[in-house]
Amino acid sequence: MVYVPHKVCNILYCLFMSNWREQANCRGLTGLMYSSEHRKARRVCMNCRVEKECLASSIQEENIDFPIYGVRAGMTAAERFRYRRRIME
């Protein structure tokens, strides 16, 4: 068994976790995803290969210190807020 220091694991984890964004349907469409055109933005999320990673990331990132807005993982900010509250109960 190979010992991998904790710090190296964290770096590898960050690299892996950031890589999913390259496969996102919304790549280059930040303006739309964070606009008030939710219907259009949701369409972008349809069949996105990295929706699970995106949702996990939004749950991890969005909190009181991080403004919650825009469409992520096919959900509006209000929907993600309710989703987060439901899974945290």
Which residue in 32, 43, 48, 69 binds ligand SF4 (CB under 6 A)? 48
Length of the chain: 89
Rounded Cα distance, 1 and 47, in Å? 39
Both structure tokens of 65: 């210190």
- DSSP assignment, residue 75? B
Least Cβ distance, residue 15 to ligand SF4 (angstroms): 17
Least Cβ distance, residue 26 to ligand SF4 (angstroms): 3
Rounded Cα distance, 66 and 62, in Å? 5
Which residue in 38, 43, 44, 69 binds ligand SF4 (CB under 6 A)? 44
Interaction site with ligand SF4 (CB under 6 A): 24-26, 33, 44-45, 48, 50-51, 54, 72-74
